[in-house]
Structures are given as structure tokens and as C-alpha cells.
Structure 1
Amino acid sequence: MDSKKIKWSTLAFMAFSTVWGFGNVLNGFIYFNGIQSIFSWILMFALYFVPYALMVGELGSAFKTSGGGVSSWIFGTTGAKAAYYAGWTYWACHITYIASKSSGGLKALSWAIFRNGETYDSFPTLAVQLVTFAILILFCYVASRGLNPLKKLATIAGTSMFVMSILYIIMMFAAPAINPHADYVSMEFTRQTLIPQFNVKYFTSLSILVFAVGGCEKISPYVNKVENPSKGFPKAMITLAVMVMVCAILGTIAMGMMFDPAEINANFDAYNSNGSYWAFQKLGQYYHVGNSIMIIYALCNAIGQLSTLVISIDAPLRMLLDNEDAREFIPSKLLKKNDAGAYVNGIKMVAVLSGAIILIQSFVPGAAVVLKQLTKLNSVCMPLRYLWVFFAYIMLRKAGEKFNPEYKFVKNQGIAIFAGCWCFFVTAASCLLGMYVEGDLFNTFLNILTPIVLAALGVILPMIAKKEKANN
């Protein structure tokens, strides 16, 4: 047996820590009316996440020598122009993500310092957004100097956040035995309390769940490093889905012991902004340790958000501009590097676009509303990159025996193409429906305008590049 091969169980845990986080439990709980989110999670895992993860496995297996990026899958199945658009989409989606990391990092720091959510939310929105913008500019400078010592910091913070989310579930279930007289919310597990209402709010929130379970394409390079890929990889992915589902359900029940959905619905913006911190603060109260657990969580979150900010400025840009196959569609000015090897003009473009989102929100009443809007904007924009995964899969299966991957999701061609089309449709429909926010015209407008502006920019750049070549 090859000692370098990864055990399927190891891959499942690697994927789990990549895909899952505490914020997913909170978002599911507050957007889907408490424990009613359990039904939606199960539906999402069975009908979307499992086939998605197994399709990624087949793509990774088919393109084992290309490093596993979505752009290389598209290049292999469709061509260079489509590969450019895939790389552009991946980069463009991170524009909204970068804006949210600046805000999220600041929020986490305020909780670590002030130990409450009200202080941060009471600051004038303009002042908060200007500080957020200043943080973005500072971290763009850090990225431009090629300084990436924060990669290790992001990994450590990510791992600690993952540990904290598992710890939350264990400690919350143990709390009633340790402190039986504390103030817990009683839950009823009946058909009425578990089955959600399928109304406008429900369908326009589905993008939150799609965003939560996405991103498993990051582990595609490891498909062929697993022992016996045709059996080991699907076993790892199904184990991943089971672990994520168990965590989502147990995390939701743990949160249901703490928070009343009626109170959340009455103070939605506050819970969206502060819910995760209140959860760890309450946990500290149950265990008589004050704010210590919450402060540890807030510091881990702050380090994680700010180190991910630098990586999100740098890594997606490199994925787009380092791609030799897509370079012919990119104007030469964007390919300019400084003495530190960073794409300076590309970083400036990130600062302008992400900065514009931050500054537009200066006119929003309250910092809590800004964080709610960024959560929704991310849930609309980030899953758009998954569309390329499913498109690549459909094209892979249409190519017949051309690529011949070692591992196949399903052998039947018709079922495979239907699964790819189904996941493509679910992603596209969730993103489009997610653009609408009931009673909030500004947020709806922002959700529609942002993807249009980013898509238009992606179309304009090849035109500039073509004109540039014609003039030379």
C-alpha cells in the first residue's frame, strides 16, 4: 500500500473543516425560523450537497494533473474563453466577500473589546463604513507587498473556529446537566414546529443554504490521492455529508435551547449581526465563566476574518491572472506586477469595487443592517461560481469517453447529465430568488446591481484586450 495515499476518513475530515462553520448553523436558524431549518437542511443535503460533492470528485479525477481548479476543468471541456469567464466569476464573487470580511473583522474586534453588540451598532454608520474602508485599503497594501504570513494564521484561525463550533454543540447539550436551573427555551418537536411555511420569504432565503454547503471543489485535487478513489472518494463525501448534516441538526437543536424564534423574528437585524456572539456569551453564563468563551470566539473570528481578507484579495486574483490560457482576454495593465510579485493594478481594482460596496452602505441606517445586507449579498453572489462546476460536469459527461476519469459519480449518462442540470438549476434559481428582499428596496437593488456590474466588467475586459492587440 502506498504510504502517501490519504485514507478516505482523513479526506472526509479535511473537507468537513473546509465546508462547515458555526456561522452556517446561525444563518440557517435565524433565516428559517429556528428548528424548522432542520427540514430545509435535510432537503438541501439530500437533493443538492451529496450530488454536488460527488460530481466534484469526478471532475477532480478527470483532471488530476491540472491542479483541480474550476477554470482548468472549463478549459479542458469547453475552451479558453469559457475558462476566462469561469476564472473571472470566481474572482468577481470574492468582491462582495472581501467587503463582508472587513465588516465582520471589525464587528468581532468590537465584541472582544466592548463585550456587547450594542456599542458597535450604536456608532454612526458613516463612521463605521469609513473605518471598514480604511481596513480594506490597509489590507490591500499588505497584499500588494506580497506579504502572506497570514496564510498560516488563517489556517490556525479556521481550525480554531471549527473546534469552537463543535465545542458549542457538546457544551450546550451538557449544559442542562451541569446547570439545570438556567434559563433554557423549551422546544416541541411536532409536525407543525418542524415543517416550514413555503412562502416568499422561504424561497428567497434558499441562497443562504446553497452558500452554506458550497465550496467542496477546493478538495478536488485530493481525489486521486485517496486510497482506491472509486470507492474511497464517494465514501469520504457521503461521510462528509452525514457529518455536516449531524452538525447542522445538533447545532440547530443546541441553538433552539437558547433562542426563541419569535424573539429573533422581532429583532432580526440584531440577531443576524450578533447572534453567534450571544450564543457563546450565554454558554459562558451557563458554565459560570462570564464572557471568557465569547472573547475567545470573538478573537478567533477577528483573526480569521482579517487573515482571510488578505488571502481573498490575493488568491482569487492570482487564480485569474496566473492562468496562461485566460491571459489573452485580459488587458496588459492588469497583468502588471510590482517588485514583490503582486498584481498591483488588480489589487487596485479590488479596492475600488469592494470599497464601492462598503461606501454605498454608509447611507444604511445602522451597522447591524449593513451586516445583514452583506450576508444576503454574499449568498446571492458567491454561489454563482458553483454554476461553472455544474457546467463543467455536464460538458465532461457530454464528451463521452474522452477524459475517462478513474472515479465516476454514476455510470448512467442520462442520470449524470440530469444531476448536473438539476444542481445548476437549483443554484441559479436560489441566487435569482435571493436577490429579492421583502420590504427592503435598497438591499434588493444592491443584490441585482452588483452581479450585473461585475458581469459587465468581465465582458468589457476581453474587448479592451482585443483592441489593445489590434493597436500593437
Structure 2
Amino acid sequence: MGEDAKKIRWYNLALMAFVSVWGFGNVVNNFANQGLTVVVSWILIIGLYFVPYALMVGELGSTFKDGKGGVSTWIRETMGPTLAYFAGWTYWVVHVPYLAQKPQAVLIALGWAVKQDGTFINNMNTLVAQSLTLVVFLVFLWVASRGVTSLKKIGTIAGTSVFVMSMLYILLMVAAPAIRGVEIATTNITIQSLIPKFDFTYFTTLSMLVFAVGGAEKISPYVNNMNKPSKEFPRGMIILAAMVAVSALLGSMAMAMMFDANNIPKDLMMNGQYYAFKMLGEYYGLGNTFLIVYAIANMLAQISALVFSIDAPLKVLIGDADKNYIPKKLTKTNKYGAPINGYLMTAILVGILIMVPALGIGDMNALFDWLLKLNSVVMPLRYLWVFLAFIMLKKLSDKFNSEYKFVKNKSIALGFGIWCFFFTAFACIMGMFPKGVETYSSAWWFQISLTVLTILVLLGLGAILPKVAKKNKSI
């Protein structure tokens, strides 16, 4: 009985996964991107993509239960060490655009907490704002290099607070018309207004949806800690999908009640979360209370995420470094155990990505949106390795055995893996095209060129490191 009590049950797994995968920003950003049609988009993306993705992750985690490298381990076991290195590199390098935007998010939250409006960074010259963003990044890079871990604990508390307030927003906003007599902003909600127009513009918004529901590989280690993995893991994932669906659908409707879906503010991605809590406080006669609490909690959560994302992905890349692929100098650590040369490489790449866009994107809101879109394109690239590992697992099914199987029929399982791989690739490619910018204008070409160049440089560097490592070994 004592041993069984330590086992994770399906409801524990569903709650753990929900907190780690989902966030209020997912609702705001996708509503800003699609308006009311996001309701149908959520149903499609969760049913056709998120559920099979999460269940595939469960099978991979169960098959390679002794592996500690996550996706890298799955690729190493199915495709060899060279591709495992590139999987590890991809996992790290996609965090570079993420790290370039996190200091922005810190400054935006600080501005709302202090001034209770969005003017702090919006009114700045882009070069000045990005210079300040770079300073914030370098400060917390230094903090991370000193081995400071207390921020992670603070961030966990702040992140939980943000999550609770996000759920509270949905409940209070949905109830506001009945309780407070609030008028609904979007008045023409019909079946037609919910159905997307599946054209080129719509397809450019898919990467943001994929970005929102990704990250299920974080829960793969828990599959083997479950009571009955073959029964309870899929049950937990179905409950997770249901919770995400309810949150996404109710959250999108709550946003449509507060903001006119036919006249969405241009800066909703940048400031939407804060507008939402400012207006919610006004509806319930609490002034800016909700806004200030949310802004402070979100600022601390963003700082923690920034420090953690500087440190953790880099340690995944070089922690179990293969000398054939990672130069020895890159693994050098300081007295706090931080890979100092790896931090230097991070600082250079992130610094370039913070400053260069400011030279061609003259508006802070447009710059924020571009960086967010860039993240939605590059972050899902790591999911491609998950699906590739699953495809190879099915092709080598005679070699591997798993206590939990996503689908017993090998051909159907393989079909799901191929579908998810190509859908993710398609979404990433379409996400490169900017939305809300005049087609073929200089700004349009600049943003596309910068996105493509950023991806090529980040992935290309991964091909250079093994050559440097090889040269170092021969000296």
C-alpha cells in the first residue's frame, strides 16, 4: 500500500501537466491573432493535434524510461548520436528568441505595476527600449551565472499566482454580465462568425496555436511513476485536453465579451493581459487592484522564467556533452557550476537578436509582435524531433518494448506521427509570414528576411560546433 500511495494517479498528472503547459497568454495572443474564429480553431487543434501529441509523448517516455535526456535520448536510441546532438542543439537554440523577449515582458509588467498603463515602454524609441531590454537581460544573465536559485522558488509562487488569477479572470468575466450588468463588447456572435476562413492569412496564425499547446514532452518522465500507465496515462491526457479546451474556449469567449472581436486593439498581444485585469477591476468596483497584483506576480514569474531558461536548456545541451560534437571550452564552468563560456555564447546571440530588429522595426508594438511570432515559429521546431522519434520508434517497434502504447495498431500510430510532424512543419513555415503588415511592403520583407535569417543562423551554428570540436580534438 505504501508503494502504491507514491504512484501518480491520472488526476495528479492532468493537473501537473495543465499548470506546466497552459497559460493565460495563450488565450490572449490567439484571440488577438484570430478573433472569434479562434473558438473553432481551438477545438480543431486540441482534437487533431494536442491529444495525439500528448499520447505519443507518453509512449516515448514509457519506452525510454531510463533515459535522462528527454528528446535527445529518444533520438539517440532510435537514430544515433549525431542526430541526438542536433535534437539537443535545437532544444537549446529555440530558447534564444524566447530569451530575447522575456526582458521585454519584464519591463512591460513593471510599467503596468508602476504606472497602471501601457505607456512605459510603448512611448520609448525602439533603440532606447531595446537597449534597456538588453541591460535587463545581462543583469539576469549575471544573476544566473552566480548560481542563484531563490528566484526559481519565488517564480514558482508567482507563476502559480498568475495561473490562479487567469482562471479567476475567466470565471469573473463570464459572470460579469449577470452579476454586474456589464455590456458584451462583441454583439454579433453567430455560427458564421466562429468558423474560420481557411485562407493564406488564417494559415499564418497556426504556429501561434501550435506554440500554445506544445511542451507536453515535459511530462514524459512521469509516465513510469503512474499506477497503471496503459490505462491511467491516456485518461490523464484526455482530462488535460478537456481542461485546456474548457479554459481556451471560455477564455476566448471572456475576451470577446470584454473586447470587440471585430475591432481588436493593435497592442492586444503586448498589453492584452493587463487591459483585461484593469477592466475586470473596474467592473467589480476594485479599481486597479487586480491589475497591480497580476502585474507584480507576472513580472516575478517572467524574471524566474528568464533565469531558468538561461540556465536549464544550456545544461541540457552540454551537461552530458559528447566531445565529438561540443567543444571542450564550451563546457568550462565557474566556481558556481555555471557553464560560463556557454553563457557568453548565449549573451552574444540574444544581444544580437534584441538589438538588430530595432534597426528595421520602428514601433515597439510591432517589434513585440514580431518577436512573439518568431517564438511561435522556432519553439515548435523542437516538437519535430518528438514526432521524428515516434515515427522511428514505430518503424523499429520490434526492437523496443513499452508498457504503454498510444495506439496498438502500428500503421495507425505511424500515421499519427507523420501527420503531427508535417502539420508542425507547415505551421512553422506559414508562421514566417507577418500578419497585420502590408503585403510586399518594406516592413513585410524586412520581417520575413529577419525571421528566415534568424532561423538559418541559429540552426546553422549547430552544424559549426561539431567541426570546432573535431578541430580541437586534433590539436
**Corresponding residue of 2:445:** 441
State the distance in 2 between where 1:441 and 1:48 align.
Answer: 31
Contact 1:68 1:221 in 2 (8 A): no
The alpha carbon displacement at 1:154 in A equals 2.1
State the distance in 2 between where 1:357 and 1:404 align.
Answer: 43
Letter in 2 for 1:105: V
Q: Aligned residue pairs: how many?
A: 465
Query: What are structure 1's unaligned runs of at least 5 residues?
Result: none
The 5 Å alignment of 1:258-273 reads 258-264=258-264, 267-268=265-266, 270-273=267-270
Letter in 2 for 1:353: L
Bigger mean CA deviation after superposition, 140-149 or 339-348? 140-149
**Corresponding residue of 2:372:** 375
The alpha carbon displacement at 1:463 in A equals 0.7
Contact 1:377 1:446 in 2 (8 A): no
Contact 1:178 1:287 in 2 (8 A): no
The 5 Å alignment of 1:42-441 reads 42-67=43-68, 69-180=70-181, 182-264=182-264, 267-268=265-266, 270-324=267-321, 326-363=322-359, 364-438=361-435, 439=438, 440-441=444-445
The alpha carbon displacement at 1:67 in A equals 3.0
The alpha carbon displacement at 1:27 in A equals 1.2
Tell me the alpha carbon deviations over residues 201-241 of structure 1, each in whole angstroms, 9 at most, x when there is no partner: 11011000000000010011000111100000000001000
Letter in 1 for 2:349: L
State the distance in 2 between where 1:232 and 1:40 align.
Answer: 28
Return closer, same or farther for 1:197/1:3 CA change in 2, 3 Å cut-off.
same
State the distance in 2 between where 1:343 and 1:20 align.
Answer: 30
Tell me the alpha carbon deviations over residues 444-464 of structure 1, each in whole angstroms, 9 at most, x when there is no partner: 122111110011100000011
State the distance in 1 between where 2:69 and 2:240 align.
Answer: 19
Contact 1:122 1:366 in 2 (8 A): no
Query: What are structure 2's unaligned runs of at least 5 residues?
Result: 439-443
Tell me the alpha carbon deviations over residues 386-433 of structure 1, each in whole angstroms, 9 at most, x when there is no partner: 000001111111111322110000011111111111100011110011
The alpha carbon displacement at 1:366 in A equals 2.3
The alpha carbon displacement at 1:14 in A equals 0.3
Return closer, same or farther for 1:68/1:4 CA change in 2, 3 Å cut-off.
farther
**Corresponding residue of 1:453:** 457
SS of alignment partner, residue 257 of structure 1: helix
Identity %: 53
Contact 2:98 2:375 in 1 (8 A): yes
**Corresponding residue of 2:441:** none
Letter in 1 for 2:25: G
Contact 1:129 1:361 in 2 (8 A): no
Letter in 1 for 2:160: T
State the distance in 2 between where 1:395 and 1:153 align.
Answer: 40
Return closer, same or farther for 1:241/1:68 CA change in 2, 3 Å cut-off.
farther
Contact 1:68 1:220 in 2 (8 A): no
- TM-score (structure 1 length as normaliser): 0.96
State the distance in 2 between where 1:23 and 1:160 align.
Answer: 14
Tell me the alpha carbon deviations over residues 359-384 of structure 1, each in whole angstroms, 9 at most, x when there is no partner: 11322222212211111010011000
State the distance in 1 between where 2:166 and 2:290 align.
Answer: 12
Letter in 1 for 2:325: F
